[in-house]
Amino acid sequence: MTFILDPAQPSSGQSRLLEGLNPAQRVAVEYRGPALLIVAGAGSGKTSVLTRRIAGLLESSEAWPSQILAITFTNKAAAEMRERVQELVGRGAEGMWISTFHSACVRILRREAEHFGFTKKFTIYDSADSRALLKRIIKELNADTFGFTVSSASGRISKLKNELQDVESYARGANFNDPTEAMFLEIFRAYTRGLSSANAFDFDDLIGQTVYLFRAFPQVAALYQRRFRHILVDEYQDTNHAQYALIRELTRAPRTDLLAGATGFDGRELRDPTRELEPASLTVVGDSDQSIYAFRGADIRNIVEFERDFSGAKVVLLEQNYRSTQNILSAANAVISNNFDRKDKKLFTTVGDGEKIVGFTGYSQHDEAQFIADEVVTLHETGVQYRDIAVFYRTNAQTRALEEVFIRSALPYRVLGGTKFYERAEIKDVMGYLIAVANPADPMALRRIMNTPKRGIGPATEAALQSHADKSEKTLREAMREADQLGLGPKVTGAILRLGAILDEVALTADTAPVADVLTALLTKTKFVEALRASRDPQDEARAENVEELVAVTKEFQKNNPEGTLIDFLTETSLVAAADDLDDSSGTVSLMTLHTAKGLEYEAVFLTGVEEDLLPHRMSAGEPGGPAEERRLFYVGITRARRRLYLSLAMTRAQFGEVNVAMPSRYLQEIPADLIDWRQSPGMANSRGGTQPRAINANRAGFGAAPALGGGSDYSLDAGAPGATALARAAHNAARPKTEWTSGVTNTVRDNGDLTLKPGDRIRHLDFGEGRVSAVSGSGTKSIAEVQFETAGRKRLLIKISPIEKI
């Protein structure tokens, strides 16, 4: 948000920080008191307000940088905030803690882990790691016969941990007569034991154990309570109970009686440790309309009941929007007003109505994707940069069709989230080596690398090692060193000892050597990359490249963190989020889920798959508060757009490889019809490729199969809502061969070898029919033809793979 002022033109002191702010924003920057809640609607300039508030505290010498703790939702947001505070106050910003809940907790835990049976080299289990651990446990306990799956168990454990429950407290309330519950307790216990014996925390532990640490060791808590004088929390509506408890602990008055003789953060004794201090001041920023993480334990009550929780809290409301046009805001307001249990709040702007929202209904997901690709081309031609365009969807599975069409149209794009770099198998393998070196207690990492690359150590051998470890109460790693006592074959024994020796040897240098050197040593000694390159599997070549890429990442890390240790590197990589690697300015369209989109903004936004069962998602229908949360998600998506918003859906959508009829989302009717300009409405799409709007006497209850929410008085989309008749027709059509949908775009791809085209050539395209090439750009496999089709309009095609022929 660069609208407010240019920091390069400072006037003086506080007044400079208030320049360009509206009255509510000024209050939010200037208010001083124990607790402040800033209710910040979408696009209301909250980051500006937060950074100026921090800058104000620093400039007026009310706080040292080290006394400020600012918590954001993603590392990206943290980096941005740090940068913007720096712009305002320069080097005076050094020493602040600006980080996510998770990073802040890791920092605290690394310092204090030894208080409660962990070492500072603990590893962090990401969801995949903890699932792998649970999988072993469920198998060992035969818990699947009780109906437990990895995801059900992990979900339940996560929920409990977010409520600050542990095995003991859960056991106290458990009903042991219920065998299922007894079994769950077993799983929970084994899981907890597995983590602590591996010297590891899972994501939820990072928060929960920090709270436990503060509660069990008041003298530790007092240290942090005394240090942090100003705590600021962004996205407060998405905090869960554990995070709330953490904030509560940090904002208690420090017990100075516990601090005499304590050492501070620089290792020296504290200056006047017994000086009485007020509790830290707390500022939270949030918007309950943007709460979209209830499924992860976020508790909207944290923000709703803030005033009750922190007595004397001041509340400031920011409603003026500086991001979007009025049409976009009106749509957003109309949608969100259907959530009944909210404080009414209406976003407004002074920038004017802007363009109408564009609606489009494709015949299939590929048709929908093609529309988006065509519009992206048009936008780009009218001067919108690719980087200012984003495509949102509800589920990651929706990326496929979009990617296919983007590739065929030779549009530059990137997918945020989804299968992340660090989730790739080969990367996890290599990380496993690093973890095994850094934290020898962790058996999960060891199991992962034991036979990667293949060295003849199979499941039977691994089980023998494990049972030896169990018997002699040693770690798996220690058992490996004694492999010669197990009576295994000479070949296997040799392989185990060799691996153990490599790990031991590299571990000697791990505390001091640069991470890149540690990694290279491991890769060389294990011949990891050679093994991949020697493989017959063509994908292994790409995997080898990914591993090389990781080596580059470690070098980059060392450049940015000259003092960084292996542990630091592992911490950083386990806490990277989808939105974090977003910043680069390369000109690409961004594809992401609606969840990932939170906190971001784009000139043009495509919100795709606006269909029943997708948005709201089928899975949310049964959950209490599900449809309302999905509506907030839709709202978040809409409010990301600055000037152009596109809503699109498809008449049919393939899931699990099967084609199903899709119906318009109930949320579409909640947008006043005059705000949407339908290029192809659901009604038009239903009349089989015709271009005339079709008047249908809609049976309203049939629309989207949704209950007529909000009375449903005037929700006709411009062509009339498709009623039961149309839906029946759609169902009928879907049962027939797909060829009947003549204007549907398929995902056909072919290899055209070295077909070349030049302007003036006539071609026939499988989906678009005949057309004339108007321009050709790029070269080799990347050459792109711009083709004017007779009926389908103008398209960009990647020549090598398009289903075309010269005529």
Partner DNA sequence: ATGGTCAAGCTTTTT
Partner DNA sequence: GCTTGACCAT
Residues of this chain that interact with DNA (CB under 7 A) are 73-74, 100-102, 126-127, 135, 151, 203-204, 292-293, 295-296, 394-397, 400, 417, 451, 454-461, 492, 536, 575, 577-579, 592-593, 595-596, 617, 619-620, 623, 654-658
Residue 249 contacts residue 303 (beta carbons within 8 Å)? no
Of the pair 150, 198, the CB lying nearest DNA is at 150
Of the pair 31, 146, the CB lying nearest DNA is at 146
Respond yes or no: is residue 558 known to be catalytic.
no
Catalytic residue among 290, 399, 593, 680: 290
Of the pair 331, 579, the CB lying nearest DNA is at 579
Catalytic residue among 234, 249, 404, 580: 234
Asked if the peptide bond before residue 218 counts as cis, ω within 30 degrees of 0, the response is no
DSSP annotation of 713 reads: -
For 728-747, b where at least 16 C-beta lie within 10 A, e where not — what string?
Answer: eebeebbeeeeeebebbbbb
Of the pair 18, 397, the CB lying nearest DNA is at 397
Catalytic residue among 25, 47, 239, 461: 47
CB of 406 to DNA, least distance (A): 16
| Pairwise CA distance, residues 40 & 412, whole Å | 34
Catalytic residue among 16, 25, 26, 46: 46
Catalytic residue among 640, 642, 795, 796: 640
Of the pair 29, 479, the CB lying nearest DNA is at 479
Query: Which DSSP string do the residues of 295-358 spell out, in sequence order?
Result: GGTB-THHHHTHHHHSTT-EEEEE-B-SSS-HHHHHHHHHHHTT-TTS-----B-SS---SPEE
CA quadruple 408, 411, 412, 416: dihedral sign: negative
47 assigned binding-site residue: yes
| Pairwise CA distance, residues 487 & 471, whole Å | 16
43 assigned binding-site residue: yes
CB of 619 to DNA, least distance (A): 4
Of the pair 92, 418, the CB lying nearest DNA is at 418
Respond yes or no: is residue 47 known to be catalytic.
yes
- The pair of structure tokens assigned to 596 is 């990932």
711 assigned binding-site residue: no
DSSP annotation of 257 reads: G
CB of 749 to DNA, least distance (A): 11
Secondary structure of residue 749 in the 3-state scheme: coil
744 assigned binding-site residue: no
CB of 543 to DNA, least distance (A): 13
Respond yes or no: is residue 491 known to be catalytic.
no
Angle at 786 between CA 780 and CA 789, to 5 degrees: 135
CB of 264 to DNA, least distance (A): 27
Residue 385 contacts residue 585 (beta carbons within 8 Å)? no
Sheet holding 357-362, edge to edge: 413-415, 589-593, 389-393, 602-607, 641-650, 357-362, 676-680
Respond yes or no: is residue 290 known to be catalytic.
yes
Closest CA to 578 of 158, 42, 77, 45: 77
Distant-in-sequence, close-in-space partners of 504: CB < 8 Å, separation ≥ 6: 481
| Pairwise CA distance, residues 21 & 197, whole Å | 53
579 assigned binding-site residue: no
Secondary structure of residue 793 in the 3-state scheme: strand
- The pair of structure tokens assigned to 593 is 């889920």
CB of 394 to DNA, least distance (A): 7
| Pairwise CA distance, residues 734 & 378, whole Å | 31
Closest CA to 426 of 532, 554, 538: 532
Of the pair 132, 755, the CB lying nearest DNA is at 132
Q: Mutual orientation of helices 150-162 and 203-216 as an angle, nearest 10°?
A: 30
CA quadruple 534, 540, 544, 547: dihedral sign: negative
- The pair of structure tokens assigned to 480 is 């490996």
723 assigned binding-site residue: no
40 assigned binding-site residue: yes
Q: Mutual orientation of helices 179-197 and 127-140 as an angle, nearest 10°?
A: 130
Of the pair 198, 495, the CB lying nearest DNA is at 495
425 assigned binding-site residue: no
CB of 499 to DNA, least distance (A): 12
CB of 579 to DNA, least distance (A): 6
Q: Which residues are catalytic?
A: 46-47, 234-235, 290, 640
Detail the residues annotated as belonging to a binding site: 40-47
Detail the residues annotated as belonging to a binding site for ATP: 40-47
